[in-house]
A and B are shown apart, each in its own frame.
Chain A
Amino acid sequence: MKKRTPLIPLLLALVLALLLPTTALAADAASLDDSDMVLYASSDSIPADASLLGQVAAAYDGSAVTDLAGLLSAGEIETLNEKLAAVRGSYGITAAVVTVDSMNDYFYAQDAADDIYDYIINADGDRPDGILFFITMGERKWHISTVGAGIRIFTDAGLEYMEDNFIDDLRDGDYYGAFDAYASLCASFSAQAASGAPYDADNLPKTPMSPVWFAVAVGIGLLIGTLIMTYYKSQLKTVRMQQSAHNYIRNGSMAITGSRDVFLYSHVNRVAKPKESGSPGGSGTHSGSSGASHGGRGGSF
């Protein structure tokens, strides 16, 4: 994970906190209405201009996928919505995807993702546990933000594992593939966490076994087969020269007349033990502008 100077997000959060009272108020006001109304209420109160939150809020309809960048077909959105809704249905974890063309007034994808979750998806406060996959095409950045129980379910190591699974698709422009992998992983991570032991540094899902292992196994098989056949072959060969004459040693004739064991020297070889490099596991967190605690991971593609 990339190191960030903690000061910068803090400063930005401060600036945002000053800039955003309108959005926050609008979201607060909207929370009184039912979710369908949020769309219109917030789009009314926020000018649908350059503000990222305004754009997302205008497009957000309560479903899991908000594809402002237009990366997905309607059918793909429907499939993803179903998959992600199932995660919420089964585990109470809100799993969402938001794509935008540009972050506009945001500089960091982390802040954008955190705020989208806090001020739009969880505007009503009824979705305290969740995960958001945010990508912005203009900056070619992605960020996954986790909240509440999501922080526990999607550990730092777990998110790194997720990245490994979708980053290639993301880079290749197969956005549906990336989101589909994300949706599947959301389900399997939630299921794993429900069993009591979330995927973490020492407990990651297994990657498929490398074919090298099968080659080695087959090689060992060939070796065992050859050894067995060597045994059967040896049954046919019984004629060989004797190596020794031990059958003919005269009983009790062996006598040691001189015996000396002289110590010459010794040396000690010292090898440093390999250091244990255990990963601490768990999730690091930071606070967003709303004051909610977030975990997450992000990068470029």
Chain B
Amino acid sequence: MADLLEYKCPCCGGAINFDSATQKMKCPYCDTEFDPAALMSRDEVLKQPQKDHIHWDTQTQSVWSEDEKAELRSYICRSCGGEIIGDAQTAAASCPYCGNPVVMTGQFSGDLRPDYVIPFKLDKKAAKEKYDAFIQGKKLLPKIFKDQNHIDEIKGVYVPFWLFDADVDANIQYEATRTRVWSDRDYDYTETSYFMVDRAGRIAFDRVPVDGSSKMPDDLMESIEPFDFNDAVDFQTAYLAGYLADKFDVGSEQSVSRANARIKTSAEAAFADTVTGYNAVLPKSGNINVQNGKAKYALYPVWLLNTTWNGKQYTFAMNGQTGKFVGDLPMDKGAYWKWWALYSGVAGAVCAGLTAILYFR
């Protein structure tokens, strides 16, 4: 039984031995007994190589035709270096990123043509209305900011996204515990049962988007998710009329890791949800293989609103399809402390009153 020598107690980590009297594995340190079969299977699982395999097929095939290239213009901001494209009729008055009015027009050049586009469903008026509603009902927003309430410019921009499909194979081990509590006259008992739980299975993801523009803040773009891909159509340059389009400058290979992180989190959560009936579940080990990833290139509609206040630029974004509106707002510090003192004082007085009532009851 030389191969039994190395078993470690799952409970306390001490080396455990086979106890011939009980025909079980017994830990000499904490006296816990184990079924040898259960222990061996647990050990085998833990010894398996746990490596995540991620393979992406990031190739997209379509390229711009010469006709399409002729219709497009490229605009480069001299201030921040942002590059956007529009059709020949669109005149970009200012850079959508930094608001700088000096925009240089050049001949469009590029390699990859978008596979899909979700056309704008909401217009500039809707974006303005959303903004007006967005700054209402926020107690800590400086009143001056609200009153001045000027938006420098509202621009509809097609933002390039990489879309990743993924089939995920997962095999995850959990340590789960179930507790049972009971009492008799003299003692309270807590029985903790430890389980080793395995879950293996598949899950698939469709079109996880990753912002392909380095100029566009990633957090801003992820905040206006989700986009409904059911509205997506095959790309036509006609959809660009009247809007600006950003050109991807982050390749799909670089974007993979971001999609990967989100897919992994979701896969882990989905599998953990299947481990039920326990009081506590802790993932111990596992591997998540992401396969057959296929990257597509799509343009998603975004309204960008810029305003400058107290020398700082605030950018808001609205999902041009669903109308979801986001953007960080400045905080009135004076109002914060005023309200904080008020709420704390009232809550403290109520607490003190309640304490006194309970105490003298």
A residues neighboring B (CB under 8 Å): 206, 209, 213-214, 216-222, 224-226, 228-229, 232-233, 235-250, 253-273
Contact A229 B190 (CB under 8 A): no
Distance of A232 from chain B, by nearest CB (Å): 5
Contact A250 B186 (CB under 8 A): no
Contact A232 B219 (CB under 8 A): no
Q: Of the candidates B139, B189, B360, which one forms a contact with A206 in the assembled complex, judged by CB atoms under 8 Å apart?
A: B360
Contact B219 A239 (CB under 8 A): yes
- A271–B200 alpha-carbon span in the complex (Å): 39
Distance of A224 from chain B, by nearest CB (Å): 4
Contact B349 A232 (CB under 8 A): no
List residues of chain B with CB within 8 A of the CB of A245. Answer: 205, 208, 259, 262-263, 265-266
- A257–B195 alpha-carbon span in the complex (Å): 19
- A256–B203 alpha-carbon span in the complex (Å): 9
Q: Which of B81-89, B245-253, B298-306, B325-333 contacts A (4 or more CB under 8 A)?
A: B325-333
Smallest CB-CB separation from A249: which chain B residue?
A: B205
- A268–B187 alpha-carbon span in the complex (Å): 12
Contact A221 B198 (CB under 8 A): no
Contact B188 A273 (CB under 8 A): yes
Q: Of the candidates A218, A226, A243, A259, which one forms a contact with B199 in the assembled complex, judged by CB atoms under 8 Å apart?
A: A259
Q: Of the candidates A243, A250, A259, A266, which one forms a contact with B191 in the assembled complex, judged by CB atoms under 8 Å apart?
A: A266
Smallest CB-CB separation from A209: which chain B residue?
A: B359
Contact A233 B331 (CB under 8 A): yes
List residues of chain B with CB within 8 A of the CB of A249. Answer: 203-206, 266, 270
- A235–B332 alpha-carbon span in the complex (Å): 13
Smallest CB-CB separation from A225: which chain B residue?
A: B344
Quick check: is B54 within 8 A (CB to CB) of the other chain? no
List residues of chain B with CB within 8 A of the CB of A269. Answer: 189-192
Smallest CB-CB separation from A256: which chain B residue?
A: B201
Q: Which of B196-215 contact A (CB under 8 A)?
A: 196-209
Contact B197 A266 (CB under 8 A): no
Contact A250 B269 (CB under 8 A): no
Contact B262 A243 (CB under 8 A): yes
Given contacts A224-B344, A226-B340, contact A254 B187 (CB under 8 A): no
Distance of A266 from chain B, by nearest CB (Å): 4
Chain B positions 1 through 32: 1 when the CB is less than 8 Å from some CB of chain A, otherwise 0: 00000000011000000000000000000101
- A218–B208 alpha-carbon span in the complex (Å): 48
A sample of 12 more A-B contacts (CB under 8 A), given A236-B138, A266-B191, A271-B190, is A221-B349, A229-B140, A236-B331, A239-B219, A239-B223, A242-B225, A245-B265, A248-B209, A249-B205, A253-B203, A256-B200, A262-B195
List residues of chain B with CB within 8 A of the CB of A235. Answer: 137-140
Contact A258 B198 (CB under 8 A): yes
List residues of chain A with CB within 8 A of the CB of B42. Answer: 262, 264
Contact A239 B327 (CB under 8 A): yes
Contact B201 A273 (CB under 8 A): no
Given contacts A220-B347, A236-B141, contact A256 B352 (CB under 8 A): no
Contact B348 A262 (CB under 8 A): no
Contact A254 B183 (CB under 8 A): no
Contact A221 B201 (CB under 8 A): no
Given contacts A221-B351, A267-B191, contact A238 B223 (CB under 8 A): yes
Smallest CB-CB separation from B341: which chain A residue?
A: A225
- A237–B134 alpha-carbon span in the complex (Å): 12
List residues of chain A with CB within 8 A of the CB of B205. Answer: 245, 248-250, 253
- A219–B201 alpha-carbon span in the complex (Å): 49
Q: Of the candidates A232, A237, A257, A273, which one forms a contact with B186 in the assembled complex, judged by CB atoms under 8 Å apart?
A: A273
List residues of chain A with CB within 8 A of the CB of B187. Answer: 270-273
Smallest CB-CB separation from B217: which chain A residue?
A: A239
Q: Of the candidates A224, A244, A266, A268, which one forms a contact with B262 in the assembled complex, judged by CB atoms under 8 Å apart?
A: A244
Quick check: is B343 within 8 A (CB to CB) of the other chain? yes
- A264–B259 alpha-carbon span in the complex (Å): 37
Contact B347 A236 (CB under 8 A): no
Smallest CB-CB separation from B178: which chain A residue?
A: A266
Contact B204 A253 (CB under 8 A): yes
Chain B positions 337 through 361: 1 when the CB is less than 8 Å from some CB of chain A, otherwise 0: 0011111111111111011100110
Contact B329 A236 (CB under 8 A): yes
Contact A262 B38 (CB under 8 A): yes
Contact A229 B201 (CB under 8 A): no
- A190–B329 alpha-carbon span in the complex (Å): 66
Contact A216 B355 (CB under 8 A): yes
Quick check: is B50 within 8 A (CB to CB) of the other chain? no
Contact A259 B339 (CB under 8 A): no
List residues of chain B with CB within 8 A of the CB of A221. Answer: 344-352
List residues of chain A with CB within 8 A of the CB of B139. Answer: 232, 235
- A213–B35 alpha-carbon span in the complex (Å): 53
Interchain residue pairs A-B with the least CB separation, the first 9:
A221-B348, A225-B344, A258-B200, A253-B204, A224-B347, A266-B193, A217-B351, A217-B352, A245-B262
List residues of chain A with CB within 8 A of the CB of B350. Answer: 221
Distance of B80 from chain A, by nearest CB (Å): 19
Contact B34 A265 (CB under 8 A): yes
